[in-house]
Amino acid sequence: MEKNEQLYEGKAKKVFATSDPALVIVDYKDDATAFNGLKKGQIAGKGVINNIMSNHMFQILEQQGVPTHFVEQLSERETVVKKVDIVPLEVIIRNISAGSFAKRYGVEEGIVFDAPTIEFSYKNDDLGDPLINDYHALALKLATAEEIERIKTLAFKVNEVMKQYFDSLNVILVDFKLEFGKIADGTIVLADEISPDTCRLWDKNTKEKLDKDRFRRDMGGVEDAYNEIMRRISGK
Ligand code: TMP
Ligand code: ASP
C-alpha cells in the first residue's frame, strides 16, 4: 500500500492518502495532550501501543458485528483504514463515575452505575468540545436522527463487548470515548481509536489507573501503565 501525501495531522495521529481513494493510512504519534491541548507532552511508545491495541479491539468488535474502519495493520505505528467523514460527535459511555461526570455532579469517582450512560460532545476544538444533546446535534445538522440512533445502539454494543473483554484481563472498563464516521455509501462505522488515551481502565484488584489519567493528573508511571495494558492484551 502506497503512503502518499499527508491529509491531516491531529493531536495523536497523522492521516495519509493512499493510491485508493477509499482508504487512508493512520500513523500514531507518541504526542499526548490534555485539556484541549493546553497540556502537552510525550508518552514514549504510546503510538505503538495505541495502534496495536486499537486494531486488536476493532477486530474483536468486528467479530461481534460492530462495523469499524479497520482494514490492515502496516507497521508498529501505521494502519490502513477506510476513509470516513467523521461525525463531529464524541460519544462517551460510562459504567462508573469518574472524570468530568464526577466533577460536574459533585460525586466521588468509583460509583458503579446500574446501567451505562451515554453523552455526546460536539467535536470542535475552538469551542473546547462542549457537551451537546441529540436535539442540538440535529439542529446543527451534525447527524440525522437515524444516524444518532444507530450510533447509540453501536456504542452500547461496543460497551458490552469491551466490558467483558477487559474483565477477562482483570481490568475494569470505567468509561471511554468513541468516534464514528460515514463511508462513501453512508454506512456508519466505528473510527478513530480505542486505547488508554480514550478509555479509563482500572486494575480490578487494586483499582490502580492504567490509562491517560496518569498523564492528565501528573501521577507518574504513565509509560508503565500503557505497557501493563499492552502486556495483558497480548496475553503475556
Ligand atoms: P471525561 O470524564 O473527561 O469526560 O472523559 C470521559 C472519557 O472520554 C474518558 O475515558 C477519557 C475520554 N476522553 C477522550 O478520549 N478525549 C477527550 O478529549 C476527553 C475529554 C475525554
Ligand atoms: N485529547 C484531549 C485534548 O488534548 C484531552 C484528553 O484526552 O483529556 O484536549
The answer to whether the beta carbons of residues 23 and 82 sit under 8 Å apart is: yes
The residue type of 42 is: Q
> In whole angstroms, how far apart are CA 3 and each of 16, 21, 70, 160?
6, 12, 16, 35
pLDDT score of 168: 98
d(CA 26, CA 192): 9
CA of residue 97 to ligand 1 center, whole Å: 12
pLDDT score of 15: 98
Ligand 2, atom 8, residue with closest C-alpha: 34
Query: How many helices (H) and strands (E) are present in the chain, helices listed first?
Result: 6, 14
Contacts of 97 (CB under 8 A, 6+ apart): 105, 107, 108, 109, 110, 111, 113
Among 215, 209, 226, 192, CA closest to 35 = 215
CA of residue 192 to ligand 2 center, whole Å: 14
Average pLDDT over the chain reads: 98
Calculate what percentage of the chain has a pLDDT beyond 90. 99
Closest atom of ligand 1 to CA, residue 212: 11
Would you state the cell numbers that stand for residue 235, as one nine-digit string? 496475553
CA of residue 150 to ligand 2 center, whole Å: 25
Q: Which of 36, 194, 209 to mutate to test the pocket of ligand 2 (most atoms within 8 A of CB)?
A: 36
Instruction: Read off the pLDDT band of 236 (50, 70, 90).
Output: confident
pLDDT score of 95: 99
> Please, what is the angle between helix 145-168 and helix 46-63, to 10°?
110
Residues touching ligand 1 (Cβ under 6 Å) are: 92, 98-101, 175-177, 198-200
Indicate whether 97 pLDDT > 90: yes
Closest atom of ligand 2 to CA, residue 212: 7
Instruction: Read off the pLDDT band of 1 (50, 70, 90).
Output: confident
Contacts of 3 (CB under 8 A, 6+ apart): 16, 18, 25, 78
Please write the tens of the pLDDT for every residue from 44-71: 999 999 999 999 999 999 999 999 999 9
Instruction: Read off the pLDDT band of 80 (50, 70, 90).
Output: very high
Contacts of 223 (CB under 8 A, 6+ apart): 43, 44, 45, 46
Would you state the cell numbers that stand for residue 214, as one nine-digit string? 496518569
> In whole angstroms, how far apart are CA 53 and each of 85, 155, 228?
23, 18, 12
CA of residue 198 to ligand 1 center, whole Å: 6
Contacts of 26 (CB under 8 A, 6+ apart): 13, 14, 15, 16, 51, 78, 79, 81
Q: What is the pTM of this model?
A: 0.98
CA of residue 79 to ligand 2 center, whole Å: 22
Among 76, 79, 57, CA closest to 66 = 57
d(CA 147, CA 36): 26
Please write the tens of the pLDDT for every residue from 121-161: 999 999 999 999 999 999 999 999 999 999 999 999 999 99
Contacts of 127 (CB under 8 A, 6+ apart): none
- Where helices occur in 14-64 by DSSP H, the ranges are 46-63
pLDDT score of 64: 98
Closest atom of ligand 2 to CA, residue 36: 9
